[in-house]
Amino acid sequence: MNAALARVLTLLGAIGVLLALLAFLGPRFFDAANMLSIVVGAAPLLVAATGATLVIVTRQIDVSIGSQFSLCAVSAGMLVSGGAPFPLAMLAAVVLGALLGLANGLLVGVMKLPAIVATLGTMVIWRELLRWWRGGEFVHDLPAGFQWFGLSQGAGQAAVVVGALALWGAVALGARFTHPGRDVFLVGSNPEAARLLGLRPTRVVVGVFVLSGATAALAAVLGSVRFGDIDPGAGAGLELRAIAAAVVGGAAVSGGRASMVGVLLGAVLLSIIGPALVFLGVQPQWERVIQGLIILVAVGADASARQGRA
């Protein structure tokens, strides 16, 4: 059994055990409205985790995803509240996210700064710029055409979920069947070998950071249309959840390996944990503790597997 299949089966088992526990201790968890809310809420996380996965595959990390999410969400909201058409505001948010990702890519790929240091710095910069700009104030007066894309709530929820799955599927197929996608994994596996084969690892690293920024922006749009106002702090903690979903899904921090099916299941597991704690009567503060433990266990398992192969 290969590692990717083993990780998928492990995740399916973990989700099954959690759901079985909820069936006994918190059966109201399975109310249709709650399940739908979890599925719709998982969509932005899946999009953000998809971009984060490609960054991790190249042996890098992006901890500024949450700040990018918040800045892009507020920017899109300010544009539509100022009269801009929603499609234009969404495009502008994605371009802004790509530019924020480009800044990270240049710092890491060109200037050779450690990714954790560079993206920690940009995380603080984007967050403080947003605090200076908005002072914590929500974006109000959004037009009716913003929430749920101007559709009915049911149709809008379906659009959010389908949009997230479509992007995840496109990236999964691209990573497996296109030259640029395979280049990402080759660079992550062995940058020097990739260079000898004629690839440009720096360009690949910059590219995945740009894509990560764009997916953070798309996640911001999908997350924002669910509400009537936009919270400038909505992205807080998203970076931890996105990285956790990617790593527990099988993205190796040593680079060169990931399972996109695992990332999908990781996003589902992370999205279930928070509501599950509420129905199990556990303090919600434990959610981040559990997320941190998930990262540690996944990274530890990856390290053990590498030592076993050595």
Mean pLDDT across the chain: 90
Provide the CB-side half-sphere exposure for 74 (13 A, CA).
24
Nearest to 65 by CA among 211, 212, 252: 212
Using the 8-state DSSP alphabet, how is residue 226 labeled? Answer: T
Give pLDDT, residue 125.
96
Specify the CATH number of the domain 32-300.
1.10.3470
Q: What is the pLDDT of residues 11-57, one digit of tens each?
A: 898 899 889 989 988 889 999 999 999 999 999 999 999 999 999 99
Cβ neighbours for 215, distance < 8 A, ≥ 6 positions apart: 47, 48, 50, 51, 52, 97, 167
Mean pLDDT of 213-228: 95
Confidence band, pLDDT 50/70/90 cuts, at residue 178 = very high
Dihedrals φ, ψ of 50, to 5°? -60, -45
Greater confidence, 250 or 220?
220
According to the model, what pLDDT value does residue 25 have? 86
Of 160, 95, 121, 132, nearest to 232 (Cα)? 132
Long-range contacts of 251-254 (CB under 8 A, 24+ apart): 251/52, 251/53, 251/56, 251/57, 252/56, 252/57, 252/302, 253/56, 253/59, 253/61, 253/299, 253/302, 254/59, 254/302, 254/306
Question: Tens of pLDDT along 221-266?
Answer: 999 999 889 999 989 889 999 999 999 888 888 888 888 999 999 9
What's the number of CA atoms in the CB half-sphere (13 Å) around residue 66? Answer: 19
pTM higher than 0.75, yes or no?
A: yes
The domains of the chain are located at 32-300
DSSP string, 25-42: H-GGGG-HHHHHHHHHHH
Amino acid code (one letter) for 61: I
Token readout for 281 is 């009567």
pLDDT one-digit tens code per residue, 66-86: 999 999 999 999 999 988 999
Q: Could you give the residue ranges of the DSSP H alpha helices within 58-178? A: 65-81, 86-105, 115-134, 153-177
